[in-house]
Amino acid sequence: MRIIVRMNELTRVLVIKISQSNKAAAVKNGRRFRELVENAWWDYMLDLHGVDLRARAQVIMKALRPEFFEPGDDNFIRNDVDRVYDLDRCLSWVACRALDRKIARDPELQLSYDWGDLPTLTAQPQLRLF
């Protein structure tokens, strides 16, 4: 068994959660398991900060380009504008860039890939006896 060198608490919680829900992938501890952990991490990051960053980007964009938004204070994007899809993609891109910078500054939000045999030991706890 490998020794777990360094893992923050967020990574530990996500690896244990994914190991308990996907035992077959956890036992193999391969690429599929890594993808499941990464997807859970991104979902957590978007729930934690993504919505606020997207709303902030939308407020800034409304101040710069008010013609893309419905009149009023609700910040609804107009559907009849030709470039609505591009605006929506641009807002998401700005929010993701800000989220990447926020994650890079805080080591507790970063996903570490050095989880060793934790998925296998979580999925099959009887292996701890050996």
Domain parsing of the chain, residue ranges: 9-129
Return the pLDDT at 12: 92
Return the pLDDT at 35: 95
User: What is the percentage of the chain residues whose pLDDT exceeds 70?
Assistant: 89
Q: Which residues of 43-56 are buried (b: 16+ CB within 10 A; e: fewer)?
A: ebbeeebbeebbee
Give 49-87 pLDDT, tens digit per residue: 988 998 898 888 888 888 888 888 777 887 776 666 678
Q: Which residues of 66-93 are buried (b: 16+ CB within 10 A; e: fewer)?
A: eebbeeeeeeebeeeeeeeeebeeebee
All residues at 6 or more sequence positions from 33 whose CB lies less than 8 Å from its CB, including other chains? 18, 19, 22, 25, 26, 119
Of the listed ranges 27-31, 51-55, 70-74, 94-98, the least confidently predicted one is 70-74
Return the pLDDT at 21: 92
Average pLDDT over residues 99-122: 90
pTM equals 0.77
Q: Which amino acid is at 89?
A: R
Q: Is the pLDDT of residue 42 over 90?
A: yes
All residues at 6 or more sequence positions from 17 whose CB lies less than 8 Å from its CB, including other chains? 40
